[in-house]
């Protein structure tokens, strides 16, 4: 069924995984956008070490931001359309795609195990990865997944999950966390510039209407 021609386009939230040695991203769009998104910001404040100074406290960097969401995944629509993957595996592939964001590649694990077996002391470090949380055009954020829980709510006859809720906790990576050569550094900096522009639209400069008189708080 075609959507109503006057309806706005619905953007899908997504997680995108990048292996910085491979230009092909792993895009995991949300089947349904979460109804709620919880964000917690903790200011990064550095105290002034000079006794008696009037400079006060200073911000040492961008606020530490944590994001929590709950994603719903359901194979019902795919099963009604006789989708082969849903019939044979349920939502196992979608859950696996999310889970692999917090796993090292098995090829790297095998290579390191073999090197240790032959007495190599220095093992191969895992390649640098980048995970992006995309929530509309104005929020594209580099993140680390800090906690991850899956509640499988229904299964098919082969015990493949067909309905699940995934709770994700993420910490936003800022320019304080990343080297300037890392693409996530520039993504976060661009995000802050957008946020500053939005803040300018959401604030005013006059106090007359607020206080009912022409007054200057700071001279």
C-alpha 183/C-alpha 113 separation (Å) is 30
> What are the b/e assignments for 86-99, b being 16+ CB within 10 Å?
bbebbbbebbeebe
Q: What is the 3-state secondary structure (H, E, C) of 94-105?
A: HHHHHHHHHCCC
Q: Find how far residue 68's CA is from the centre of its chain.
A: 9
pLDDT digits (tens), the chain, 219 positions: 455 556 666 789 999 998 866 778 899 999 999 999 999 999 988 765 555 555 556 888 899 999 999 999 999 999 999 999 999 999 999 999 999 998 887 777 787 788 788 877 666 666 667 999 999 999 999 999 999 999 999 999 999 999 999 999 999 999 999 999 999 999 999 999 999 999 988 877 666 666 666 666 665
C-alpha 43/C-alpha 62 separation (Å) is 7
Joined together, the tokens standing for residue 113 give 């195990």
CB proximity list for 16: less than 8 A, separation 6 or greater: 25, 26, 27, 28, 131, 132, 134
In this prediction, residue 206 carries a pLDDT of 67
CA angle 22, 115, 26 (to 5 degrees): 20
In this prediction, residue 98 carries a pLDDT of 94
In this prediction, residue 103 carries a pLDDT of 86
Whole-model pTM: value is 0.81
In sequence order, what are the beta bridge partners of 14?
29, 134
Closest CA to 166 of 99, 118, 214: 99
C-alpha 109/C-alpha 119 separation (Å) is 16
134, 137, 138, 139 alpha-carbon torsion, rounded to 10°: 0
> Could you give the C-alpha distances from 164 to 73, 114, 149, in angstroms and in order?
5, 37, 10
């Amino acid at each position: 069924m075609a959507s109503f021609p006057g309806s706005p386009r619905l953007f899908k939230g997504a997680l995108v995984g990048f292996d910085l040695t491979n230009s092909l991203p792993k895009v995991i769009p949300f089947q349904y956008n979460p109804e709620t998104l919880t964000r917690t910001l903790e200011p990064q404040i550095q105290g002034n070490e000079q006794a008696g100074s009037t400079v006060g406290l200073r911000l040492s960097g961008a606020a530490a931001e944590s994001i929590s969401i709950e994603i719903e995944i359901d194979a019902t629509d795919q099963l009604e359309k006789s989708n082969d993957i849903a019939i044979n595996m349920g939502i196992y592939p979608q859950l696996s795609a999310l889970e692999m964001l917090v796993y090292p590649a098995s090829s790297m694990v095998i290579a390191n195990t073999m090197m240790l077996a032959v007495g190599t002391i220095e093992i191969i470090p895992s390649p640098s990865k980048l995970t992006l949380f995309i929530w509309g055009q104005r929020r594209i954020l580099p993140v680390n997944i800090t906690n991850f829980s899956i509640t499988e709510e229904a299964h098919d006859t082969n015990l493949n999950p067909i309905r699940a809720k995934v709770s994700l906790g993420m910490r936003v990576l800022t320019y304080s966390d990343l080297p300037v050569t890392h693409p996530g550094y520039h993504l976060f900096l661009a995000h802050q510039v957008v946020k500053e522009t939005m803040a300018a639209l959401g604030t005013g400069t006059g106090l007359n209407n607020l206080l009912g008189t022409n007054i200057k708080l700071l001279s």
